[in-house]
Amino acid sequence: MFAKPSSLLKLLLLISCFTLNASVLAQSSSSDDSGWQIGVAIGAGTRTNPVMDNENTPLYLIPQVNYQGERFFIQNLDIGYTFFQNDTHQLSLLLTPSYDQVFFNKSGFNSFIDTAGFANSTKVGPTVELVSHTIDKRRLHTRHMAALAGLEYNQSVYGLDLQVQLLKEVTDYYDGSEARFALSKSINLGKNDVKLTVGANWQDASTLNYFYGFDESETLGNLPYSPGSGVTGLLRFDWSYQIDQHWSLRFFTSYRHLSCAISNSPLVTDDNVVTAFAGGVYHF
């Protein structure tokens, strides 16, 4: 149920190192140029949930917390340290969460998370009603929000932004690996900012089995399911309009096409996740 002590120690050491760097950088910065950007998006939106019987997640408030120091940075739930950077390339150490857990946890905390990837179309396969008779969700193991650590590479060339993350799970829940890829194009039109993103997320068998698989002890006469690795695709559109120093308008929508390893799971009733949000952002 809990992470192993060795993994917790590694995670705490990582966070301590990152926090120490943040403290040093913050003390060396003036209050007028602290590197912090804090805001909150207020509006209406939703994130669909592909897991059986689980409701879509409403999005009303989305905090935005960013810090950019000389080396250390925070981007919402991502924490990183850049150890190489020039005009076009950047290589960083990164600590980031595994977002699949939000589909299993009904906590209100999920309403405040923009997973950056997340209408409903039902896949061909078991319906919610049929699956519910053979799978007792109370018997399923708890899906935890794990921490991933690894490298992040960014490159800007010809007006395109490339981002690649190679990550390893460090909390010993499932000892999985992920590789995330995104290619973005930003367009500025006066007060309007538009960003288009296409991406993919490869997850190994250990990761997908932890979240979407189950063994005989978790079923009631149903065959166990153990998925292999898979690649999930992503399309995203972001738009913002600056009203004044503190307020801006924001709209974003994203479509995530789940890998077959995920959508073939009897726990899953949709082959995609759609997120949409529209509202205003207050910048402190």
pLDDT at 97 (0 to 100): 93
pLDDT tens figures, 22-76: 444 444 443 345 689 999 999 999 999 999 888 899 999 999 999 999 999 999 9
What gap in Å lies between CA 126 and CA 118, rounded to an integer?
Answer: 23
pLDDT at 32 (0 to 100): 43
Coil, helix or strand for 72? Answer: strand
Structure tokens at 12: 């705490």
Structure tokens at 282: 């207050």
Structure tokens at 27: 């003390």
Mean pLDDT of all residues belonging to the chain: 82
Using a pLDDT cut of 90, give the percent of the chain over it.
63
Which range has highest mean pLDDT (2-6, 14-18, 115-119, 261-265)?
261-265
Q: How confident is the model at residue 105 (pLDDT cuts 50, 70, 90)?
A: confident
| CATH fold of 5-283 | Outer membrane phospholipase (ompla); Chain C (2.40.230)
Least confident of 41-50, 125-134, 197-206, 265-274: 125-134
CA dihedral 185, 261, 112, 3 (to 10 degrees): -120
Q: How confident is the model at residue 14 (pLDDT cuts 50, 70, 90)?
A: low
Domain boundaries, the chain: 5-283
pLDDT tens figures, 190-207: 899 999 999 999 999 999
Q: How many other CB atoms sit within 10 Å of the CB of residue 256? A: 24
Q: How far is CA 261 from CA 12, 120, 196, 226, in A?
A: 32, 19, 27, 9
Structure tokens at 59: 């999005």
pLDDT at 10 (0 to 100): 52
Structure tokens at 191: 């007060």
pLDDT at 127 (0 to 100): 38
Least confident of 66-75, 109-118, 136-145: 109-118
Q: How confident is the model at residue 112 (pLDDT cuts 50, 70, 90)?
A: low
Q: Which amino acid is at 231?
A: V
Sign of the dihedral defined by the CA atoms of residues 109, 114, 120, 124, in that order: negative
Picking from 75, 155, 161, the residue whose alpha carbon sits closest to that of residue 116 is: 75
Which range has highest mean pLDDT (15-19, 85-89, 119-123, 150-154)?
150-154
pLDDT at 253 (0 to 100): 97
The pair phi, psi for residue 130, each rounded to 5°, is: -65, -40
CB 115 within 8 A of CB 47: yes
Least confident of 113-117, 125-129, 209-213: 125-129
Radius of gyration for the alpha carbons in the chain, expressed in angstroms and rounded: 20
Picking from 153, 151, 157, the residue whose alpha carbon sits closest to that of residue 88 is: 157
Predicted TM-score (pTM) of the model is 0.80
